[in-house]
Amino acid sequence: MFLRTCGRSLKFLNCQPLVRSRSIRFQGSLHGSTKNVRHSNASLAAVAASLISGIVLGLYTTKRLRSNKQTFPLSSITPLNDLSPPQYGTDEDFANCIKELMELLPDKSVTTTEVEIEHHTDNGFNPSKPLSHQRPKCIVYPSSTEEVSAIMQIINKYNIPVVPYSGGTSLEGHTYSTRPGIVLNTSRMNKILAVHVDDLDAVLEAGVGWQQLNEYLANHEGMENLMLGCDCGPGAHVCGMVNTNASGIAATRYGSMGSNILSIKAVLADGTVVKTKQRPRKSSAGYNLTGLLVGSEGTLAIVTEVTVKLQVKPAYETVAVVQFPTLRDCTNAVATLFKKGIQLNAVELLDTEMMKCINYSNLISKSYENLPTIFFKIAGLNEVVVNEYIKEVKKVSQDNDCKMFEFAKSEEEAEELFSARKNSLYMMLDYGYNEIDENAKMWITDCAVPLSRLASTLEEVKNLMSQYPLPHMVLGHVGDGNFHCDIFYMPDQYQMCKQIVREMTEITLKNEGTCSGEHGVGTGKRAMLELELGENTISMMRKLKLALDPKRLLNPDKVFKIDPLDESDE
Ligand SMILES: Cc1cc2nc3c(=O)[nH]c(=O)nc-3n(C[C@H](O)[C@H](O)[C@H](O)COP(=O)(O)OP(=O)(O)OC[C@H]3O[C@@H](n4cnc5c(N)ncnc54)[C@H](O)[C@@H]3O)c2cc1C
Ligand SMILES: *[C@@H]1O[C@H](CO)[C@@H](O)[C@H](O)[C@H]1NC(C)=O
Ligand SMILES: *[C@@H]1O[C@H](CO)[C@@H](O)[C@H](O)[C@H]1NC(C)=O
Ligand SMILES: *[C@@H]1O[C@H](CO)[C@@H](O)[C@H](O)[C@H]1NC(C)=O
Ligand SMILES: *[C@@H]1O[C@H](CO)[C@@H](O)[C@H](O)[C@H]1NC(C)=O
């Protein structure tokens, strides 16, 4: 009994500063705590403690007690219709905000020039386009966590929407401003803070690029054999990769960005600085806030530092190109290899149309048949070990009727194949422009299904595509059951293409898959995400969003709707 009361009263005492700061930030939060006080049938000590806390805190805050249905209704989820529209600062607030930001960063770190605004408006990869009234009005370039924190305090004070921006290579309109405000470009924060060779990790500022890190490691003694196990669009930065849970070609071996990070330092909407973990590989220390921020697309916090795992480059690696009569033969071969426990370092599928496009690009010296093709990376400790794997891969490929099995003749040739694959998006855009129409657009999709469903899903998708006149190409990280069926359309075929993408997603979901394997949701896939996960799951995400960002300042309108007046069907 004593312990219990003591515990309770201690709890109240400990609570004080928390309750207080909460009541200042989120009006109405006191509601919960006063109720606790009233309902507790504790001993005198506890009552006294609560009275004290009431006197200390309550008296001058009672006037503020009013329910705020936006942040803390008594439910576990936040359905969209429970919200009122967000209230952002007025033009005057905006002007004052910019003024204070300029005082904080008197050099050229705060700009409103047309050119820079234009650069941060639309990276051109998503069919949805920011409208002219949605363009950002100011770009801010912070150089440190402390600066980001100070910036967010000002932005929070004036209620201005802010879009975190890094490499700008995301594909779903993630960085498009939907409400005219500030874009926070974290690219200047690009220092490699520490490389711990013995622990196989590195501490990086948010704006370090994955290629920058790999080059740095390759050029430093004792680090040459280390790399980040995650690769995505050329030019992407680690904070962007964390925020989309990016993956890419090496993910089949090393996992996505989510599995390649140990800890995150981030700034919350009101400027609070947090660090999610220490640096050990293992941790059961509380909630996995690292995991919460992974894939959050700049809607929960500004990431300023990332501790990444480093992977050891394989001592010996070879590349094989294998061509099959059908896509099903390709996926059957891959499934068999996985079931045998054969570890492959990359398994990239390219369909007939994609092979045509590669041949067209002239980026590969050799010309391949126009057949479904897999590029394999097979790696191991040394040539002997790798040769054993090769025998298996070859046998399984032959069992699945492969028409051609060939090794890259040299390291250069292997490099050429994978760099062509890495740049396939640009190849496709080039092909579309020259061979289809100067005005042709491309719709990028990103479905993923369990591996056993991949063959039938791809067949259904091909069947769907055959009912429409739109040219398309399929490529995929098939090791992860992830494929991109990228579709060309003319501007007047936009609705048709949108319909196809919806049907493709439905096929994927029916096969227990996801609308986004690695690119994320942004503005482009919100409706698909809801179709995939259902309203309750989205409302739970919305609850978390509002808990951390009650004013809805951070990358508003991404991942899911935050405004009941938002009538978009995307
Ligand atoms: C040619 C090409 C190939 C690609 N290939 C792949 C691939 O194989 N695999 C793959 O997964 N992706 C691929 N992508 C997509 C893209 O590279 C990834 O989505 C990448 O993670 C985006 O990183 P970024 O630095 O460019 O981020 P940005 O585009 O700048 O931003 C991405 C998201 O992160 C948020 N953000 C940015 N900085 C911060 C920050 N400091 N704090 C909080 N939030 C922030 C943004 O608001 C946005 O929501 C490709 C893109 C291109 C153009
Ligand atoms: C973001 O900032 C960096 C560093 O200042 C700059 O190189 C880059 O061009 C900026 N991004 C855009 C889209 O302008
Ligand atoms: C990130 O991606 C991987 C692979 O797609 C997935 O398993 C994981 O759940 C994702 N999210 C996090 C938080 O790691
Ligand atoms: C937490 O989430 C991160 C990111 O997805 C992941 O790498 C990690 O393994 C998870 N668990 C712990 C204990 O950090
Ligand atoms: C590849 O391209 C070359 C020249 O552009 C062409 O001659 C050849 O027929 C093409 N190969 C295939 C298989 O399409």
Q: Could you tell me if 431 and 487 lie in one domain? A: yes
* 518 Cβ closer than 6 Å to some ligand 1 atom: yes
Name the pairing type of β-strands 482-489 and 346-350. Answer: unpaired
Examine the domain organization and report whether 279 and 361 are in the same domain: no
Confidence of residue 42 (pLDDT cuts 50, 70, 90): very low
From 312, 339, 367, the end of a domain falls on: 312
One-letter amino acid of 207: G
| 473-504 pLDDT tens trace | 999 999 999 999 999 999 999 999 999 999 99
How many angstroms separate the alpha carbon of residue 367 from the centre of ligand 5?
A: 7
Number of domains in the chain: 2
| CA-nearest residue, atom 12 of ligand 3 | 258
141 falls within a domain = no
Nearest CA to ligand 5 atom 1: 359
Establish whether residue 278 lines the binding site of ligand 4, counting it when its CB lies within 6 angstroms of any ligand atom: no
* pLDDT above 90 for 90: yes
Measured CA distances, 519 to 64, 233, 425, 483, 525 (Å): 43, 10, 13, 11, 10
Answer yes or no: is the C-beta of 242 below 6 A from any ligand 4 atom. Answer: no
Last residue of a domain, one of 312, 328, 353: 312
378 pairs with which residues across the strands?
318
Integer Rg of the chain from CA: 26
Q: Residue 7: inside a domain, yes or no?
A: no
Pair (245, 356) in one structural domain: no
Which atom belonging to ligand 2 lies closest to the Cα atom of 185? 1
Q: How far apart are CA 104 and CA 114, in angstroms?
A: 22
Dihedral angle sign, alpha carbons of residues 508, 421, 123, 109: positive
Same structural domain for residues 345 and 374?
A: yes
287 and 324 both lie in a single domain:
no
User: Does 86 map to a domain?
Assistant: no
Helices 44-53 and 2-25, packing angle to 10 deg: 10
Residue 333, in any domain of the structure:
yes
Asked if 79 and 88 touch (Cβ cutoff 8 Å), the reply is no
Going by alpha carbons, the residue nearest to atom 17 of ligand 1 is 233
How far apart are alpha carbons 216 and 503 in whole angstroms? Answer: 44
In a domain, 484, yes or no: yes
Query: How many CB atoms within 10 Å of residue 106?
Result: 8
* The domain boundary residue, chosen from 312, 333, 349: 312
CA of 188 to the centre of ligand 2 (A): 8
CATH number at residue 263: 3.30.465.10
User: Which run of H or of E encompasses 406?
Assistant: strand 404-407
Burial class (CB in 10 A: 0-12, 13-18, 19+), 413: middle
State in Å: Cα 277 to ligand 4 middle.
9
Q: Are residues 264 and 367 in the same domain?
A: no
Per-residue model confidence as pLDDT tens digits over 152-187: 999 999 999 999 999 999 999 999 999 999 999 999
Q: Which of 527, 561, 444 is nearest to 171 (CA)?
A: 444
- 123 Cβ inside 6 Å of ligand 2: no
Is there an atom of ligand 1 within 6 Å of 247 CB? Answer: yes
Q: Are strands 346-350 and 316-323 parallel, antiparallel or unpaired?
A: unpaired
Q: Tell me if 120 CB under 6 Å of ligand 2.
A: yes
485 shares a domain with 361:
yes
Q: Are residues 297 and 334 in the same domain?
A: no
Judge whether 97 and 162 are in contact, CB under 8 Å: no
Q: How far apart are CA 230 and CA 254, in angstroms?
A: 7
Same domain, residue pair 324 and 274: no
Q: The whole model's pTM is what? A: 0.89
Residue 91 lies in a domain: no
Q: Is 292 in the pocket of ligand 4 (CB under 6 A)?
A: no
pLDDT, position 133:
92
For helices 535-548 and 526-533, the axis angle rounded to 10 degrees is 120
Q: Tell me, yes or no, whether 196 and 306 share the same domain.
A: yes
Whole-number average pLDDT of the chain? 89
Residues 405-456: pLDDT tens digits? Answer: 998 888 899 999 898 888 899 999 999 999 999 999 999 999 999 999 999 9
Please check whether residue 458 lies inside any domain of the structure.
yes
For residues 397 and 301, membership in a common domain is answered with no
pLDDT band at 51 (very low <50, low <70, confident <90, very high): very low
Q: For residue 250, tell me if it sits in a domain.
A: yes
Q: What residues make up the domain containing 236?
A: 192-312
CATH number where 478 lies:
3.40.462.10
* Cα→Cα distances 173→256, 473, 521, 540, Å: 21, 21, 8, 23
Clarify whether residues 307 and 324 are in a common domain. Answer: no
> How far is the centre of ligand 3, averaged over its atoms, from the C-alpha of 166 (Å)?
21
Query: What tens digit of pLDDT does each residue of 306-351 get?
Result: 999 999 999 999 999 999 999 999 999 999 999 999 989 999 999 9
